[in-house]
With several copies, the nearest count.
Chain A
Protein backbone atom coordinates (compact mmCIF):
# COMPACT_ATOMS: atom_id res chain seq x y z
CA UNK A 1 0.00 0.00 0.00
CA UNK A 2 2.81 2.40 0.80
CA UNK A 3 5.17 0.98 -1.83
CA UNK A 4 7.70 -0.17 0.66
CA UNK A 5 8.46 3.20 2.23
CA UNK A 6 8.82 3.30 5.96
CA UNK A 7 6.42 5.86 7.38
CA UNK A 8 7.49 6.80 10.91
CA UNK A 9 4.75 9.44 11.24
CA UNK A 10 1.40 8.13 10.05
CA UNK A 11 -0.83 9.26 12.86
CA UNK A 12 0.43 10.84 16.02
CA UNK A 13 -0.43 13.04 18.95
CA UNK A 14 2.26 15.27 20.35
CA UNK A 15 2.61 17.75 23.20
CA UNK A 16 5.30 19.83 21.49
CA UNK A 17 5.52 21.81 18.25
CA UNK A 18 4.65 19.77 15.16
CA UNK A 19 7.56 18.97 12.88
CA UNK A 20 5.94 19.80 9.53
CA UNK A 21 9.01 18.79 7.53
CA UNK A 22 9.11 15.36 9.19
CA UNK A 23 5.42 14.78 8.40
CA UNK A 24 6.02 15.85 4.80
CA UNK A 25 9.09 13.64 4.46
CA UNK A 26 7.14 10.73 5.93
CA UNK A 27 4.81 10.70 2.93
CA UNK A 28 6.86 12.13 0.06
CA UNK A 29 8.84 9.81 -2.15
CA UNK A 30 10.29 9.53 -5.61
CA UNK A 31 7.04 8.07 -6.98
CA UNK A 32 4.78 10.83 -5.66
CA UNK A 33 4.51 13.93 -7.81
CA UNK A 34 2.11 15.86 -5.62
CA UNK A 35 2.35 16.61 -1.92
CA UNK A 36 -0.35 18.65 -0.18
CA UNK A 37 0.35 19.79 3.36
CA UNK A 38 -2.42 21.34 5.45
CA UNK A 39 -1.54 23.28 8.58
CA UNK A 40 -4.29 24.27 10.96
CA UNK A 41 -2.82 27.24 12.78
CA UNK A 42 -4.11 28.70 16.00
CA UNK A 43 -5.69 32.07 15.35
CA UNK A 44 -5.79 35.14 17.54
CA UNK A 45 -9.50 35.74 17.05
CA UNK A 46 -12.73 33.75 16.98
CA UNK A 47 -16.20 35.12 16.39
CA UNK A 48 -15.01 38.67 16.97
CA UNK A 49 -13.31 37.86 20.28
CA UNK A 50 -9.58 37.98 20.92
CA UNK A 51 -8.15 34.58 21.72
CA UNK A 52 -5.13 34.59 24.02
CA UNK A 53 -4.63 30.85 24.46
CA UNK A 54 -5.79 27.59 22.94
CA UNK A 55 -5.44 24.20 24.54
CA UNK A 56 -6.34 20.80 23.12
CA UNK A 57 -7.18 17.71 25.11
CA UNK A 58 -7.86 14.21 23.81
CA UNK A 59 -9.10 10.79 24.77
CA UNK A 60 -5.72 9.59 23.67
CA UNK A 61 -6.04 5.85 22.95
CA UNK A 62 -9.27 6.37 21.01
CA UNK A 63 -7.96 9.46 19.23
CA UNK A 64 -4.84 7.57 18.21
CA UNK A 65 -6.87 4.62 16.93
CA UNK A 66 -9.23 6.83 14.94
CA UNK A 67 -6.39 8.82 13.38
CA UNK A 68 -4.76 5.57 12.30
CA UNK A 69 -8.08 4.36 10.90
CA UNK A 70 -8.48 7.53 8.83
CA UNK A 71 -4.95 7.17 7.45
CA UNK A 72 -5.41 3.49 6.66
CA UNK A 73 -8.77 4.00 4.95
CA UNK A 74 -7.56 6.93 2.83
CA UNK A 75 -4.42 5.07 1.78
CA UNK A 76 -6.46 2.01 0.92
CA UNK A 77 -8.84 3.99 -1.32
CA UNK A 78 -6.29 5.34 -3.82
CA UNK A 79 -3.22 3.83 -5.45
CA UNK A 80 0.08 5.16 -4.18
CA UNK A 81 -1.52 7.61 -1.77
CA UNK A 82 0.23 8.24 1.53
CA UNK A 83 -1.11 10.17 4.49
CA UNK A 84 0.34 11.44 7.76
CA UNK A 85 -1.68 13.26 10.42
CA UNK A 86 -0.13 14.90 13.48
CA UNK A 87 -2.26 16.65 16.11
CA UNK A 88 -0.81 18.72 18.89
CA UNK A 89 -2.22 18.54 22.43
CA UNK A 90 -1.95 20.92 25.37
CA UNK A 91 -1.47 24.66 24.98
CA UNK A 92 -0.67 25.75 21.43
CA UNK A 93 0.67 29.30 21.08
CA UNK A 94 -1.08 31.67 18.66
CA UNK A 95 0.26 31.25 15.13
CA UNK A 96 1.56 27.71 15.68
CA UNK A 97 0.00 24.62 14.12
CA UNK A 98 -2.45 22.50 16.09
CA UNK A 99 -2.73 19.97 13.27
CA UNK A 100 -0.69 19.03 10.22
CA UNK A 101 -1.98 16.72 7.49
CA UNK A 102 0.50 15.66 4.81
CA UNK A 103 -0.68 13.75 1.76
CA UNK A 104 1.45 12.51 -1.11
CA UNK A 105 0.10 11.03 -4.32
CA UNK A 106 1.17 10.38 -7.89
CA UNK A 107 -1.77 12.62 -8.84
CA UNK A 108 -2.43 16.09 -7.50
CA UNK A 109 -6.21 15.77 -7.63
CA UNK A 110 -6.14 12.76 -5.32
CA UNK A 111 -3.72 14.55 -2.97
CA UNK A 112 -6.00 17.58 -2.58
CA UNK A 113 -9.10 15.44 -2.11
CA UNK A 114 -7.52 13.16 0.49
CA UNK A 115 -6.22 16.20 2.38
CA UNK A 116 -9.70 17.69 2.64
CA UNK A 117 -11.29 14.38 3.54
CA UNK A 118 -8.71 13.74 6.24
CA UNK A 119 -9.39 17.17 7.73
CA UNK A 120 -13.18 16.78 7.70
CA UNK A 121 -12.99 13.31 9.24
CA UNK A 122 -10.48 14.48 11.84
CA UNK A 123 -12.87 17.21 12.95
CA UNK A 124 -15.88 14.89 13.11
CA UNK A 125 -14.54 11.57 14.28
CA UNK A 126 -11.53 12.08 16.50
CA UNK A 127 -12.05 12.77 20.22
CA UNK A 128 -9.97 15.92 20.55
CA UNK A 129 -11.39 19.06 22.18
CA UNK A 130 -10.34 22.68 21.97
CA UNK A 131 -10.51 25.14 24.84
CA UNK A 132 -10.28 28.84 24.00
CA UNK A 133 -9.24 31.50 26.49
CA UNK A 134 -10.16 35.12 25.69
CA UNK A 135 -8.57 38.44 26.56
CA UNK A 136 -11.22 39.04 29.26
CA UNK A 137 -10.00 35.92 31.06
CA UNK A 138 -13.04 33.78 30.24
CA UNK A 139 -12.66 30.40 28.57
CA UNK A 140 -14.88 27.96 26.74
CA UNK A 141 -14.76 24.55 25.09
CA UNK A 142 -15.48 24.96 21.38
CA UNK A 143 -18.08 22.43 20.33
CA UNK A 144 -19.62 21.72 16.93
CA UNK A 145 -17.48 24.40 15.42
CA UNK A 146 -15.03 24.10 12.57
CA UNK A 147 -11.28 24.31 13.20
CA UNK A 148 -11.29 27.08 10.62
CA UNK A 149 -14.92 27.72 9.67
CA UNK A 150 -15.52 28.30 5.98
Chain B
Protein backbone atom coordinates (compact mmCIF):
# COMPACT_ATOMS: atom_id res chain seq x y z
CA UNK B 1 0.00 0.00 0.00
CA UNK B 2 1.03 3.61 -0.58
CA UNK B 3 1.62 5.89 2.41
CA UNK B 4 2.09 9.59 1.92
CA UNK B 5 4.62 11.12 4.31
CA UNK B 6 4.90 14.83 5.08
CA UNK B 7 7.84 16.18 7.03
CA UNK B 8 8.42 19.47 8.84
CA UNK B 9 11.31 21.50 10.27
CA UNK B 10 14.36 19.28 10.99
CA UNK B 11 12.60 16.26 9.47
CA UNK B 12 11.95 18.24 6.28
CA UNK B 13 15.62 19.16 6.16
CA UNK B 14 16.30 15.41 5.82
CA UNK B 15 13.54 14.06 3.58
CA UNK B 16 12.42 17.29 1.88
CA UNK B 17 9.40 19.55 2.10
CA UNK B 18 7.49 17.72 -0.61
CA UNK B 19 5.41 14.66 0.32
CA UNK B 20 7.24 11.33 0.00
CA UNK B 21 5.34 8.23 -1.13
CA UNK B 22 6.39 5.07 0.68
CA UNK B 23 5.32 1.58 -0.34
CA UNK B 24 4.59 -0.66 2.67
CA UNK B 25 3.03 -4.06 3.15
CA UNK B 26 -0.56 -4.16 4.33
CA UNK B 27 -0.74 -4.10 8.13
CA UNK B 28 2.46 -2.07 8.47
CA UNK B 29 2.72 0.06 11.63
CA UNK B 30 4.12 3.51 12.29
CA UNK B 31 7.24 1.81 13.68
CA UNK B 32 7.74 -0.18 10.50
CA UNK B 33 7.23 2.99 8.44
CA UNK B 34 9.98 4.54 10.58
CA UNK B 35 12.31 1.65 9.82
CA UNK B 36 11.67 2.02 6.08
CA UNK B 37 12.16 5.77 6.18
CA UNK B 38 15.40 5.53 8.18
CA UNK B 39 16.73 2.99 5.65
CA UNK B 40 15.89 5.33 2.78
CA UNK B 41 17.07 8.46 4.65
CA UNK B 42 19.86 7.45 7.07
CA UNK B 43 20.06 11.02 8.43
CA UNK B 44 16.56 10.54 9.78
CA UNK B 45 17.67 7.86 12.26
CA UNK B 46 19.05 10.15 15.01
CA UNK B 47 15.97 12.38 14.69
CA UNK B 48 13.29 9.70 14.63
CA UNK B 49 13.01 9.10 18.41
CA UNK B 50 12.16 12.77 18.97
CA UNK B 51 9.46 12.92 16.31
CA UNK B 52 5.76 12.80 16.98
CA UNK B 53 3.88 11.03 14.22
CA UNK B 54 0.40 12.11 13.17
CA UNK B 55 -1.89 10.02 11.01
CA UNK B 56 -4.55 12.09 9.29
CA UNK B 57 -3.99 14.87 11.82
CA UNK B 58 -4.05 12.74 14.98
CA UNK B 59 -0.91 11.95 16.96
CA UNK B 60 -0.55 8.17 17.25
CA UNK B 61 1.69 5.57 18.91
CA UNK B 62 4.36 3.60 17.10
CA UNK B 63 2.25 0.45 17.27
CA UNK B 64 -0.56 2.06 15.28
CA UNK B 65 -1.43 0.12 12.11
CA UNK B 66 -1.50 2.22 8.97
CA UNK B 67 -4.33 2.18 6.46
CA UNK B 68 -3.80 2.56 2.72
CA UNK B 69 -3.85 6.20 1.57
CA UNK B 70 -3.11 7.46 5.09
CA UNK B 71 -1.37 10.83 5.37
CA UNK B 72 1.47 10.54 7.84
CA UNK B 73 3.14 13.67 9.22
CA UNK B 74 6.52 13.75 10.96
CA UNK B 75 6.42 16.41 13.68
CA UNK B 76 9.62 17.51 15.43
CA UNK B 77 9.36 19.08 18.89
CA UNK B 78 7.71 22.49 18.86
CA UNK B 79 8.89 25.52 20.81
CA UNK B 80 7.17 24.46 24.05
CA UNK B 81 8.27 20.81 23.85
CA UNK B 82 7.45 17.59 22.10
CA UNK B 83 3.95 17.37 20.69
CA UNK B 84 3.76 13.67 21.39
CA UNK B 85 4.66 14.08 25.02
CA UNK B 86 2.34 16.97 25.71
CA UNK B 87 -0.69 16.12 23.64
CA UNK B 88 -3.68 15.16 25.67
CA UNK B 89 -4.14 11.37 25.74
Direct contact of A and B (CB under 8 A): yes
Contacts of A120 in B (CB 8 A): 80
Which residues does B use to contact A, with CB under 8 Å?
6, 8-10, 12-13, 50, 54, 57, 73, 75-83, 86-88
- Grouping DSSP codes into helix (H, G, I), strand (E, B) and loop, the A interface class, with mixed when no group exceeds half, is mixed
Task: Determine whether the beta carbon of A144 is less than 8 Å from that of B81.
Answer: yes
Q: Are A126 and B54 in contact (CB under 8 A)?
A: no
Closest 4 CB pairs of A and B: A123-B80, A129-B9, A124-B80, A124-B86
Which residue from A58, A62, A122 sits with its C-beta under 8 Å from B57? A62
Contact B82 A141 (CB under 8 A): no
Chain A residues bordering chain B, tally (CB within 8 A): 24
**How long is the Cα–Cα vector from A142 to B78 in the complex, in angstroms?**
8
Q: Which residue of A lies closest to B9 (CB)?
A: A129
Identity of the chain A residue whose Cβ is nearest the Cβ of B74 in the assembled complex: A59
Q: A59-B6, A61-B57, A129-B9 are in contact. List 4 more A-B contacts (CB 8 A).
A: A57-B8, A124-B83, A125-B78, A125-B88
What are 10 A-B contacts with C-beta separation under 8 Å?
Answer: A57-B8, A59-B8, A59-B73, A62-B73, A120-B80, A141-B9, A141-B76, A143-B78, A143-B79, A144-B80
